[in-house]
Amino acid sequence: MKTMSELSLIDVIKKAETGPICLEKDFDRKILILKLKEVLREYNIKYDQGTLIPNDDSLADAVFNAALDLYLEIGTYCVSTHRQIKFEEAEIKEALRNAPSQITFGEGPDAREMSPRRVEDRTPPLCLTSGGGEISEDIYIQVVQSYAQNPLADTVSGGCPLHTIFGIVPKAGTPAEVLASIYNVVYSKEGAKRAGRPLIGFHNLLGTALSAAGYISASQPELGVRPVDGNLIASLAELKTDYSQLTKALYYSERKNVLTGAVYVPLMGGYGGGPEGTAIVTLAHHLQGILVHHVAYADFPVTHLRYSCSTARESLWVASIVGQALSRNTHLLTATEAITAAGPCTEMCLYEVAASSIVGTTSGIHINNASAAKSQYLDRETGMEARIGCEVGHAATGLKRTDANELVTHLVSKYEQNLENPPLGYKFQECYDIDIVKPSKKYVNIYNQVKRDLQELGLKFE
């Protein structure tokens, strides 16, 4: 048997073509769900809606071990071949040992190291900054600039898809998708340059590309792409991949022209079931990332199916317990991402981001802020959401879990009654003076009020 140090992506592709065959619906409804029920019973994992940041190390360890058992049994489903990609226990453990324990984004004065953190760590989290909703091409540069000019931003992202390119909607698999992917990188790099930070690292260069052709076309050094930038490969929910994702992974592995990351979007209320099952599946996605896609780092928003956000009570619990489980049992590099229900220039949106940042910081992982308005509305992403997330992450560094839990529980109580019908907020063009890329007086006033509220709750901002 090969060790993970010898297990190449070619070996993974071979497993995808020779593994046990099954229908996708059987993988979802029988293999995954049945094994998940089994490990939930065996490890007696229980969700407590009153404790959003658990203070129980044995619970975190149980989630990790349950995920290990789950993934060992079912592996990853390859949609393209209708087969399971399965690994032996020794291969999984070797992959955990050999996974990167430190990577660097950016260069020169903007070089930032991503290293493992511990629960209640006194070292601030790496602040990844980005949005996820579609952005109009005429303001794309300014939106990225609004993120990059935040002094606490350790990385930025081109993760917002371009709505159009030269007026054409970039549909998957079309020439327009390739063109939009290229300009996605060009505009993102220009935004960082205009912010005075041309050397800052990108944890995700591309939001527009869907196909492997789009990713490969836009990952070229002549566009300014560097080995200190990263691209995220999506794991299909739940615990799936396909030839497109494997092609991206293989290309990055062979070229080594960018850092390979992963984004996991576990669906709270989907095939993972409730918070307990979703936590196990989320952690199993991290195993899939290092084994199937050979990623160096990850990012995960636990998306609630009912509310389409990651800031609901159950989602925050999942993010916390998964973060603690990974921090205690691995050196994997990961960040929890805030997807808010509310839109920009609303108090609710900023409270949601603050809650997510405290959860990630205290639970021993890094933070990624923020995708506003459920990532579903055009031009509703701004750098102000990321700014509050970064400031809260630094202010929450060193908090005890019990104190952080009290704080987050209070914040959630301020907005959860509006998750069903959140305020949409305002577009970037209404939140910023586009000519000078500065937030509006209205948004600054809302921002300052939320900071004052957080200070009254005990957070100390530098």
> What angle in degrees, to the nearest 10, is found between the helix axes of 57-74 and 33-43?
150
Residue 462 has a pLDDT of 83
CA separation for the pair 70, 73 (Å, rounded): 5
Q: How far is CA 139 from CA 203, 432, 433, in A?
A: 21, 11, 11
Residue 5 has a pLDDT of 43
Both tokens assigned to 397: 């560094």
For 161, half-sphere exposure in the C-beta direction (CA atoms, 13 angstrom radius) is 20
369: closest CA among 433, 319, 327? 319
The whole-model pTM stands at 0.96
Instruction: Return the bridge partners of 263, or none.
Output: 234, 299
Residue 210 has a pLDDT of 87
CB atoms near residue 11 (< 10 Å):
13
Residue 38 has a pLDDT of 98
CA separation for the pair 306, 428 (Å, rounded): 26
Q: Does domain 103-271+290-456 have CATH number 3.20.20.460?
A: yes
Q: Using CB atoms within 10 Å of the CB of residue 347, give its burial: 0 to 12 exposed, 13 to 18 middle, 19+ buried.
A: middle
Torsion of CA 136, 138, 144, 145, to 10 degrees: -150
Residue 1 has a pLDDT of 41
311: closest CA among 427, 414, 392? 414
Domain ranges of the chain: 9-98, 103-271+290-456
76: closest CA among 26, 16, 23, 35? 16
Residue 223 has a pLDDT of 96
CA separation for the pair 220, 202 (Å, rounded): 14
239: closest CA among 307, 295, 292? 292
CA separation for the pair 90, 295 (Å, rounded): 19
Residue 194 has a pLDDT of 98
Tell me whether strands 127-129 and 366-371 are parallel, antiparallel or unpaired.
parallel
Which regions of the chain are under pLDDT 70? 1-7
Q: What is the DSSP letter of 262?
A: E
